[in-house]
């Protein structure tokens, strides 16, 4: 057995990565700007050098765990469960991994406590708010890290204290589950990943990898052809839709747009979808800037895309955020929408399903419109 394949090395690397993840979540909850400064861009790779270096060191310079067929688990001593052979355990001990497990068993609950305090302060004790995305990410971190903390503490016990076989088997199972649990956690907790997984399955259905219907036909390649719906390319700014697009469909377009939000500072993603008179849908997401004043809202982003493509008349615009209640556009966005008439405005909260429908003139009463400019021009002409 190659020593580089030693289980402790990969275990410690996994735990350090999980601890970095918890620190990242805590800093992000405190202030997204700090998280961006510490982990943004290529800095993430620098942080990941820590578990990689630890993994390599433990692989080459420490005692590996050996699988024990008697207990069905990993042990430092190759003679665990063999009372006839007395050995000096210190010859096989791995103090680095043992002390590291103590560290993990203490630090993980401590980081959970820090996260709970920050969330409590953000939602109750302070004026800030925790977005749905932040809640989902924290939940993912806690679920994945809880298994790591439990296994760390349990492995300390089973290495130095005689324990029942069922306990060892259970911990061995949890050790294996801790490495695969993240996949299922992300699928069930992370809405974006869940949507992408569903899209992937639908793609399989369209391509015939999975059966879509029970109908069997003989197709002559020269007479019939199957045209599959094509996914818009990344450079496309619009998506052609029929004139009969429903309100729910427009909302889904806005939800999809919110996934492209660039909001590292506020952590407040917003998506918008505007429907033109000819049935074309243009998406837009908020794009933040370090100078703050350079930030553009999702509503304006969608309308600018539509205007740049030559459209001037809009039927409706859908806006989605991660708040529990529908969120109205800001003042400048209301003025921006009013520029193109009394557009129907649909505000929606995906987390609760609540929606609010209004018009541009209702959101901005006694508004300043292009008509005032026309009147001003006529007045100046009369003079």
Q: How far is CA 222 from CA 26, 194, 225, 227, 230, in A?
A: 61, 39, 8, 14, 22
Query: What is the 3-state composition of the chain as percent helix, strand, coil, each rounded to the nearest 5?
Result: 55, 10, 35
How much is the mean pLDDT over the chain? 77
Distance from the Cα of residue 22 to its chain's centroid: 15
Longest dimension (CA), the chain: 114
Of 323, 321, 329, 361, the C-alpha closest to 344 is: 361
Quote the pLDDT of residue 66.
73
The pLDDT value recorded for residue 299 is 96
What are 41-57's pLDDT values in tens digits?
788 889 999 999 988 88
Give all strands (DSSP E) within the chain, no chain letters.
66-68, 73-75, 238-240, 271-276, 280-285, 314-320, 344-348, 355-359
Would you place residue 378 in the very low, low, confident or very high pLDDT band (cuts 50, 70, 90)?
Answer: low
| 297 appears as a binding residue in the annotation | yes
Predicted model pTM = 0.45
How many CA atoms within 13 Å lie on the side-chain side of 295? Answer: 22
Average pLDDT over residues 78-86: 73
Is 215 annotated in a binding site? The answer is no
Report whether 330 belongs to an annotated binding site: yes
Q: Which of 240, 299, 322, 339 is catalytic?
A: 299
Predicted pLDDT at 226: 36
Length of the chain: 383
For residue 230, the model assigns a pLDDT of 44
Instruction: Tell whether residue 287 is among the known ligand binding residues.
Output: yes
Residue 26: pLDDT band (50, 70, 90) is confident
Give residue 4's pLDDT band: very low, low, confident or very high (50, 70, 90).
very low
pLDDT tens profile 314-367? 999 999 998 888 999 999 999 999 999 999 999 999 888 899 999 999 999 887
What whole-number distance in Å separates Cα of residue 378 and Cα of residue 171?
Answer: 83
* Domains of the chain (ranges, CATH numbers): 3-195 (no CATH), 238-375 (3.40.140.10)
Q: In the Cβ-directed half-sphere of 364, how many Cα atoms lie within 13 Å? A: 21
Q: Is 289 flagged in the annotation as binding?
A: yes
| Residue ranges of E strands in 329-369 | 344-348, 355-359
Rounded alpha-carbon distances, angstroms, from residue 208 to 205, 216, 229: 5, 12, 13
State how far the Cα of 144 lies from the Cα of 140, in Å rounded to an integer. Answer: 6
- Active site (annotated) includes residue 299: yes
Please indicate whether residue 155 or residue 221 has the higher confidence score (pLDDT). Answer: 155
Mean pLDDT across 222-226: 38
14 is in an annotated binding site: no
247 labelled as ligand-binding?
A: no
pLDDT band at residue 221 using 50, 70 and 90 as cut-offs: very low
Residue 135 has what pLDDT?
A: 66
Binned at pLDDT 50, 70 and 90, residue 244 comes out as low
Q: What is the pLDDT of residue 138?
A: 66
Residue in 61, 43, 205, 32 with CA at minimum distance from that of residue 133: 32
């Amino acid at each position: 057995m190659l020593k580089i394949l030693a289980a402790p090395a990969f275990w410690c690397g996994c735990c350090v990565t999980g601890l970095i993840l918890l620190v990242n979540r805590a800093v992000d909850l405190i202030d997204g700007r700090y998280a961006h400064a510490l982990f943004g861009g290529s800095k993430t790779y620098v942080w990941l050098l820590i578990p990689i270096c630890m993994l390599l060191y433990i692989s080459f310079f420490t005692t590996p765990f050996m699988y024990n067929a008697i207990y069905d688990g990993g042990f430092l001593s190759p003679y665990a469960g063999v009372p006839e052979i007395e050995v000096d355990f210190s010859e096989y001990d791995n103090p680095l991994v043992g002390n590291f497990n103590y560290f993990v068993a203490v630090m993980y609950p401590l980081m959970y406590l820090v996260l709970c305090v920050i969330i409590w302060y953000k939602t109750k004790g302070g004026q800030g708010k925790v977005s749905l995305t932040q809640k989902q990410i924290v939940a993912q971190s806690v679920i994945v890290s809880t298994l790591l903390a439990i296994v760390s503490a349990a492995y300390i016990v089973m290495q130095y204290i005689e324990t029942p076989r069922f306990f060892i088997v259970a911990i061995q199972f949890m050790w294996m589950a801790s490495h695969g649990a993240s996949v299922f956690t992300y699928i069930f907790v992370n809405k974006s990943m869940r949507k992408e997984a569903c899209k992937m399955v639908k793609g399989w259905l369209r391509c015939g990898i999975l059966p879509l219907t029970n109908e069997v036909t003989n197709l002559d390649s020269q007479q019939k052809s199957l045209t599959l719906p094509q996914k818009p390319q990344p450079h496309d700014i619009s998506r052609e839709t029929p004139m009969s697009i429903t309100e729910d469909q427009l909302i889904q377009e806005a939800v999809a747009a919110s996934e492209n939000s660039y909001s590292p500072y506020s952590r407040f993603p917003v998506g918008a979808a505007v429907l033109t008179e000819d049935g074309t849908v243009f998406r837009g997401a908020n794009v933040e800037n370090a100078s703050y004043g350079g930030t553009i809202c999702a509503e304006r982003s969608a309308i600018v895309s539509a205007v740049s493509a030559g459209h001037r008349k809009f039927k409706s615009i859908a806006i989605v955020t991660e708040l529990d209640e529908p969120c109205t556009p800001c003042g400048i966005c209301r003025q921006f929408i009013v520029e193109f008439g009394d557009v129907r405005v649909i505000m929606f909260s995906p987390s609760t399903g609540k929606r609010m429908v209004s018009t541009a003139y209702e959101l901005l009463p006694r508004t300043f419109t292009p008509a005032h400019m026309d009147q001003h021009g006529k007045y100046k002409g009369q003079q």
